[in-house]
Amino acid sequence: MGKKILILLLLFATIISFVSCGTGRLIDNGGKISQVPAPSNRFIPSQNINTEKEKDAPFRFVVMADSRGSDKGINTKAISKTFESIKKIDPQPQFAVMPGDLVGGAESYSEIKAQLLNFKNTVTKYYPIDFFYPGFGNHEASAGTDGELAFEEVFSEIKANFLEGYHNTVYYFDKNDTRFYMLNSNHPGEGHIISDAQLNWIKANTDTNKKHNLYFFHEPAFPSGSHVGSSLDANQLQRDKFWEIIDQSVNPIAFCGHEHNYTRRHINSDFNETINGRAFKFSKLVYQVTTGTFGAPVYKDYTDKKNVDVPPIPEYHFTVIDISNNKIQITVYNLDGKVLDQFEQ
């Protein structure tokens, strides 16, 4: 009996020694004993914690549209001064979003591609190409489908999720907890509208967990001046179907160009209407920011004043957006660094 107790004690001591030495541990694997590596003493932070911290990290980007001109399709002087001004910003933006009319346009594939390449070569003197998220406007569309083909080839570096059939002119990407949608209001055969194909694509790619949803498109949904009647308001039913999606998304803001000035207006229930028996009821206050020229000739027209917070300012400008602590702060500068507008959402 004494020998049996002694043997058991020795066996128990051996097991304890094996585990405590740190070389491994014993597990029961379906009746078989296996050895697995000992855990490292190095602390490995939770991936979920890192992801949450990253989602809440502040970031900055810039928005500008309409830089067409007479220098091989662009206004080189204004573009250069714009990016020289942006270079002085501290902290620096992480990227730029540019919703259309970057060039003057042409009817042939070769000409429109040459203009887009000229634009690309000009802006990449200041930032690398992956800094830019370009959009498609009515002047790029002057070459029809060839304009979209040229756009797709020149800006092949865009990294995003694309809608098929639009040659990389319709896409979305995420930055932290914000989703960015770039849309095409000038697809050949779909002028002055955000098509049903795009609307269905937005719905299919909506993430209700995002804290902000930003929409970029060239032609304003609610123009205030020179392009009243020749923007998305040319088809009010389609416009309202689009705006209904914006209104129903989480913390939305819309950015556009086309009218060559800076204008801000808010869209809310004052714009509710019934079209062809369909009632549109907007429940949110959503800003439409027209940031419409860093090179194209300025427009002063001001004809639709409903809910306009900042009337048209006919100056070259760019818009800086800071997203931090679940808030969006927007500051608009002219090319001399003067603040034209500032607001928070």
Q: Are strands 59-63 and 95-98 parallel, antiparallel or unpaired?
A: parallel
Q: Could you tell me which residues are beta bridge partners of residue 35?
A: 26
CA distances from 40 to 36, 50, 145 (A): 12, 20, 58
* Residue (of 197, 110, 189) closest to 162 by Cα position: 197
What is the per-residue pLDDT for 51? 54
The percentage of the chain sitting over the pLDDT mark of 90, rounded to a whole number, equals 83
What pLDDT shows up at residue 248?
98
pTM of the complete model: 0.85
Cα(192)–Cα(229) distance, integer angstroms: 9
Exposure string of 258-270, with b = 16+ CB inside 10 Å and e = fewer, is: bbbbbbbbbbeee
Burial (Cβ within 10 Å: 0-12, 13-18, ≥19) of residue 334 = middle
Query: Has residue 35 got a pLDDT over 80?
Result: no
Q: Write out pLDDT tens, residues 283-338.
A: 999 999 999 999 999 999 999 999 999 999 999 999 999 999 789 999 999 999 99
User: In which band, very low, low, confident or very high, does the pLDDT at 73 lie, cut at 50, 70 and 90?
Assistant: very high
Closest CA relative to residue 116, chosen from 86, 163, 149, 165:
149
Average pLDDT over residues 52-59: 78
Over range 63-76, report the average pLDDT: 98
- Confidence tier at 53 by pLDDT (50, 70, 90): low
257-281, pLDDT tens digit by residue?
A: 999 999 999 999 999 999 999 999 9
pLDDT at 55: 72
As a whole number of angstroms, the distance between CA 290 and CA 319 comes to 10
Gap between the Cα atoms of 218 and 221, Å rounded? 9
* Cα(301)–Cα(261) distance, integer angstroms: 9
Report the C-alpha gap between 231 and 69 in whole angstroms: 21
Confidence at residue 325, expressed as pLDDT on a 0 to 100 scale? 79
Give 151-208 pLDDT, tens digit per residue.
999 999 999 999 999 999 999 999 999 999 999 999 999 999 999 999 999 999 999 9
Q: Which two tokens stand for residue 17?
A: 């020694």
User: What phi and psi, each to the nearest 5 degrees, are found at residue 87?
Assistant: -60, -20
* pLDDT at 41 (0 to 100): 31
Residue 78, helix vs strand vs coil = helix
Q: What percent of the chain has pLDDT over 70?
A: 84
**What number is the average pLDDT over the span 242-259?**
98
**What average pLDDT does the structure give for the chain?**
88
The confidence score (pLDDT) of residue 37 equals: 33
What integer is the mean pLDDT of 213-231?
Answer: 97
